[in-house]
Structure 1
Amino acid sequence: MDENGFWAMIEAAWGVAGGKAKPRQRLSEGKLSEGRAYALQEVLEEEVVPALLERLDALSADELLEFDRILERKLYDIDRADIQERTDGSDDGFLYCRGFIVGMGRAYYEAVRANPDRAITDAECEQMCYLSWHLYHDKFGEMTPSGISRETCSNPAGWPPDSKPDAAPDAAG
């Protein structure tokens, strides 16, 4: 499993839900209304995540671990104050917004990384954040920690000292 395989698995799961290529592309371009983005959120939660779970269930322990490590890194890399300002104020809410961003696929993820204004306020997908971690735990037991965290404010490069949301823990203490 590499990054291309990671994104291909997400795209294959979207394929089960009809792909929704046009609205997801419009979302990436910043041309989709929030209402339609929330409709995509519903498809992500109700159709895409179950299809992705089914595909992940067929992976070996090593492949599933690799998928989870890539997911963790993707969530970590967009753990940034400038993205959080656009999405949600709480630490859990921002994690779930990052789950939505990853779950929408590579084009949207890259669009938000490049331009946080492309993010949608309160569009969330909690399931996406720990899907592979829970599956790995259920099938194979505990995972060896990777050394990074998907939790909000864990990426010090994304959070200047005075930019952390009030609900997030202080990294120093």
Structure 2
Amino acid sequence: MTVITDATEALPTPAEEARFWALIESAWAALGAEPLALRRALVERDPDGSEDDDEPYAIDAWLGPFLDRLRQLSTELSAQELTDHDRVLERKLHDIDREDIHEMTDGSDDGFLYCRGFIVALGREYYEAVHARPALAVLDAECESMCYFFAHLHNERFGAWPETGSGISRESFGNPVGWAA
């Protein structure tokens, strides 16, 4: 059950978040060891080190197969389950809508949103690492399709966008706490 903190803000429950991250990990797990190793390398890398400039972008080739697998795993989800996943997704995107992360990723409004989609798409471990240490974010990395993934599925299957009840925006520069100077 979604937690309501006031009349305008529904927060995902810990159980909803756990299901969301489990679904993301299931999609990645189906792709084998190589993308797992690439994702691990992004978490463990030294952003100030002298690594190969292309190394952080090696995961890009796996984003399409990941999204395809995520779609397959989501085909039987109910309207409520898709709404719950979308609520978690928008909250995660909103929470990393921060100036310190933007400084590491660059990008316009849309570009920064797509970069945050990349961060979420790579899974909980990378998301939490970037949340805690923005220097781990990858400059100009993006996964546009992740940003409204569950909303699009909900619309395709049920003919309407999900009503998450969150009262927040996933769009860039929409988190006043992340941009308070």
TM norm structure 2: 0.83
Q: For structure 1, list consecutive stretches of 5 or more residues without a partner in the other structure.
A: 162-173
CA RMSD, Structure 1 to Structure 2 (Å): 1.5
* Cα distance per residue 1:99-119 (max 9 Å; x no partner): 000001111000000000000
Give the match for residue 64 of structure 1. Answer: 82
Question: Do structure 1's residue 92 and structure 2's residue 79 form an aligned pair?
Answer: no
With over 3 angstroms needed to count, the CA separation of the structure-2 counterparts of 1:17 and 1:66, relative to structure 1, is: same
Deviating beyond 3 angstroms after TM superposition, the runs of 4 or more aligned structure 1 residues are 31-34
Contact 2:84 2:164 in 1 (8 A): no
- Give the CA deviation at 1:33: 4.6
Q: Which runs of 5+ in 2 are unaligned?
A: 1-14
Deviations for 1:84-104, whole angstroms, at most 9, x for unmatched residues?
A: 011023110000000000001
Query: How far off its partner does 1:34 sit?
Result: 4.4
Helix, strand or coil: the match of 1:2?
A: helix
Pairing 1:11–2:22 present: no
State whether residues 13 and 52 of structure 1, in contact with CA within 8 Å, keep that contact through their aligned partners in structure 2: yes
1:7-86 correspondence runs (5 A): 7-19=21-33, 20-31=35-46, 33-44=52-63, 46-86=64-104
Aligned to 1:158: 178
What is the one-letter code of the residue matched to 1:144? E
Q: Give the SS at the match of 2:151.
A: helix
**What does the per-residue CA deviation read over 1:103-148, in whole Å, with 9 as the maximum and x for residues that have no partner?**
0111100000000000000110000101111110111122225311
Matched residue, 2:3 = none
- For 1:29 and 1:9, the matched residues in 2 are separated by 23
- In structure 2, do the counterparts of structure 1 residues 158 and 33 end up closer, same or farther at CA, with 3 Å as the change threshold? farther
Kept in 2, the 8 Å contact 1:80–1:155? The answer is: yes
Cα distance per residue 1:26-85 (max 9 Å; x no partner): 2112247542321202201x2001100111121011111101100010000000000001
How is 1:107-126 mapped onto 2 (pairs within 5 angstroms)? 107-126=125-144
Q: Is the contact made by 2:114 and 2:144 (CA closer than 8 Å) also made in structure 1?
A: yes
Residues of 2 paired with 1:42 and 1:77: CA distance?
A: 26
Q: What is the CA–CA distance in structure 1 between the aligned matches of 2:110 and 2:126, rounded to whole Å?
A: 21
Provide closer, same or farther for how the CA distance between residues 74 and 33 of structure 1 changes in structure 2, counting only shifts above 3 A.
farther
TM-score by length of 1: 0.87
